[in-house]
Amino acid sequence: MIDLSPGPLERRERLSSGQLTLPGAPPVMSIPIEELAALIEALLLVAAEPPSICELAAAAEVEPDRLERALQLLNARESRGVIVQRHGDHLQLTTAPRFSTAVRSFLGLDREVRLSSASLETLAIVAYQQPVTRAEIESVRGVDCSGVLSTLHTRGLIEPVSRLASVGSPIQYGTSIEFIKHFGLRSLADLPHLGTIDGLDGRAALDDAANPLHLFRPDDTDQGAETGGT
């Protein structure tokens, strides 16, 4: 017997284009919102990598807007043991942060290494200012941050996201999906408000401290950062 089913690559291409349907799937838009939410959860459970909104919508045969409404329904269920985390346009299913101690104990995982104060300070600047260059981070902290950035990049908490359109094209960093997972957030929208610093709005104060107009240094091209260095 000849297997005429699409291979992994063909399935992925057809999924991205919306041509792949699930066996027995109902017509587009006819699935109840509760059932759609359950379907999304099932798809996220078996996904090898965080899928995009468009990939999930194609698999569920619904419009992205309807998928978003189903996601809102999932996120509103506070009693669940899992949550949907979002990084940009990609989603993943993970255990609820309140159960992290029990989950780690059950899996026999070693105690997680804590981040140093320098790492936390740098990570906070990246989280609130992203995309941000090394020079901008160093302007806020007042110290060299190459080693800390390398550590955060190695641990997968930050990643290069673009290059600044200026002399040397310095790398701009942003937080990764691992950052969302590490701190138990649903998305970057869950980051706490900065409040005030010396009577000024926290974000405005941070923007002023990271003013790039006088920050650029010739050595800030961050050669090799893609492989973990800065």
Domains and CATH numbers, the chain: 8-100 (1.10.10.10), 117-227 (1.10.10.10)
Using CB atoms within 10 Å of the CB of residue 67, give its burial: 0 to 12 exposed, 13 to 18 middle, 19+ buried.
buried
- 3-state SS string for 99-150: HHHHHHHHHCCCCCCCCCHHHHHHHHHHHHHCCEEHHHHHHHHCCCCHHHHH
Q: What is the DSSP letter of 76?
A: T
| pLDDT tens, per residue, the chain with 230 residues | 334 444 444 444 444 444 444 444 444 457 899 999 999 999 999 998 899 999 999 999 999 999 999 999 988 887 888 889 988 889 999 888 888 888 878 877 665 667 899 999 999 999 999 999 999 999 988 899 999 999 999 999 999 999 988 888 899 999 998 898 888 888 888 888 876 666 666 666 667 766 655 444 444 444 444 434 43
Does this model's pTM top 0.75?
A: no
Q: For residue 49, how far is the Cα from the chain centroid? A: 12
